[in-house]
């Protein structure tokens, strides 16, 4: 069942390895040799679950291994936390030949990737994603970042990993809430690229939640291939890669307004996708049937589809203006025009955005 997919960019290529029980297998790291140094970056929960196996995986190569345990949660995805990594690297005399290892979910992956991109002007790093969301999305493609109090992922870089190791067995230790949050990104891919994949999800969603091995493998392999195709065409998000941000303009505004960590990222994305669909409806671009299918699938996955009632529409709008796709104060949002096809709609009026937000609050589903 093991699958290796090659990610090709203009500057480098790297493999994504997908399988169950990968931590029990011998993995070949072409860029590591005996005597090299690595530092494993993780959090307390993941440390207790997987650190020993990862330590042994690298110890068998003959590496010098240090580690740091970071506080867990989106609210710690900051420059302060990145500086903790730098301090540990410097205290342990790591130079530009070292390799960072991101062992954890999307927060750990983003922080570690960003630290690797700037430490001594750039060092190698390995992604070992342990959540569904990070396995299908954030660990792939080299987008690294930390948050600012005024906006999510506002400080970052494009910096590709040297290898991504997707151990599907990690999904067995995820909570149902974390798994649902990851499914939001899976549904996002299907709405953007593949109506048949969306239909497949409608049919097989229960099997995915029951962790059917064949269905899980197919789903994650499918998402990785869809993302890789876009990265090859547009590594630095100048054009087509922006489509992967379906729902994220609204999602980032939700996270910033509620406070980072109150909702999981995938939960905010789910509501963001619904608001994007309602924006399309407001502009007569998307039919009610597709909106109903999208909302019903998200609900079936135990994901939220409505904004919290305490969110103020006009404060929410201020966060939208900080989105990275806003140019010259023009609101540009990725919108679905049908399941399987989206595009970037430019210069959307405030009135349309406000109506979409209010329509979401009054959603009758």
Distances (CA, A) of 172 to 20, 130, 175: 10, 10, 8
170-207: pLDDT as tens digits: 999 999 999 999 999 999 999 999 999 999 999 999 99
234/105 Cα distance (integer angstroms): 24
Q: How confident is the model at residue 5 (pLDDT cuts 50, 70, 90)?
A: very high
- The first and second tokens of residue 328, run together, are 């010259």
Q: How confident is the model at residue 360 (pLDDT cuts 50, 70, 90)?
A: very high
**6-10, 80-84, 152-156: range with highest mean pLDDT:** 80-84
What is the rounded average pLDDT of the residues 107-127? 98
Domains and CATH numbers, the chain: 3-173 (3.40.50.1970), 176-361 (1.20.1090.10)
Helix (H, G, I), strand (E, B) or coil at 324: coil
As to burial, measured by CB atoms within 10 angstroms (0-12 exposed, 13-18 middle, 19+ buried), residue 210 is: exposed
Q: How far apart are the first and last CA of the chain?
A: 39
What was the pLDDT predicted at 113? 98
- The first and second tokens of residue 229, run together, are 């195709």
What was the pLDDT predicted at 279? 97
What is the rounded average pLDDT of the residues 53-74? 95
> Rounded to the nearest 10 degrees, how much is the dihedral formed by the CA atoms of 269, 249, 81, 117?
110
Share of the chain above pLDDT 70, in %: 99
What was the pLDDT predicted at 315? 87
CB–CB of 91/66 below 8 Å? no
Whether the predicted pLDDT of 116 surpasses 90:
yes
Distances (CA, A) of 277 to 110, 125, 284, 349: 28, 37, 10, 16
Whether the predicted pLDDT of 14 surpasses 90:
yes
Q: How confident is the model at residue 322 (pLDDT cuts 50, 70, 90)?
A: confident
Residues with Cβ within 8 Å of 90's Cβ and at least 6 positions away in sequence, in order, are none
325/225 Cα distance (integer angstroms): 25
Mean pLDDT for the chain? 94
CB–CB of 251/265 below 8 Å? yes
Nearest by Cα to 294 from 285, 303, 284: 303
What was the pLDDT predicted at 333? 93
What was the pLDDT predicted at 321? 85
What was the pLDDT predicted at 325? 67
């Amino acid at each position: 069942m093991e699958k290796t997919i090659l990610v090709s960019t203009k500057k480098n290529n790297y493999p994504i390895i997908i399988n169950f029980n990968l931590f029990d297998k011998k993995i070949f790291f072409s860029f590591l040799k005996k005597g090299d140094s690595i530092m494993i970056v993780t959090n307390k929960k993941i440390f207790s679950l997987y650190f020993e196996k990862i330590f042994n995986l690298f110890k068998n190569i003959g590496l010098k291994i240090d580690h740091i345990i970071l506080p867990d949660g989106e609210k710690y995805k900051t420059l302060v936390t990145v500086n903790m990594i730098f301090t540990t690297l410097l205290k342990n005399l790591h130079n530009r030949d070292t390799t960072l290892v991101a062992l954890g979910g999307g927060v750990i992956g983003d922080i570690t990737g960003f630290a690797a991109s700037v430490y001594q002007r750039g060092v190698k790093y390995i992604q070992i994603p342990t959540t569904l969301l990070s396995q299908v999305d954030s660990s792939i493609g080299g987008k690294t970042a930390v948050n600012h109090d005024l906006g999510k992922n506002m400080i970052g870089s494009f910096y590709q990993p040297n290898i991504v190791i997707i151990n599907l067995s990690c999904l067995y230790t995820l909570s149902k809430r974390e798994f649902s949050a990851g499914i939001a990104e899976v549904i996002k891919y299907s709405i953007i690229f593949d109506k048949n994949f969306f239909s497949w999800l409608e049919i097989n969603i229960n099997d995915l939640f029951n962790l059917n091995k064949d269905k899980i493998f197919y789903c994650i392999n499918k998402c990785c291939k869809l993302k890789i195709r876009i990265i090859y065409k547009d590594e630095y998000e100048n054009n087509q890669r922006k489509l992967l941000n379906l729902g994220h303009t609204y999602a980032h505004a939700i996270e910033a307004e509620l406070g980072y960590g109150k909702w999981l990222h995938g939960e905010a994305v789910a509501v963001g996708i619904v608001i994007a669909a309602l924006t399309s409806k407001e502009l007569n671009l998307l039919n009610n049937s597709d909106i109903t299918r999208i909302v019903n699938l998200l609900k079936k996955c135990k994901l939220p589809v409505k904004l919290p009632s305490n969110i103020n529409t006009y404060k929410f709008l201020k966060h939208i203006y900080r989105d990275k796709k806003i140019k010259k104060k023009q609101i540009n949002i990725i919108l679905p025009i049908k399941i399987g096809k989206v595009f970037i709609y430019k210069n959307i009026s405030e009135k349309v955005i406000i109506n979409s937000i209010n329509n979401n609050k009054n959603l009758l589903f």
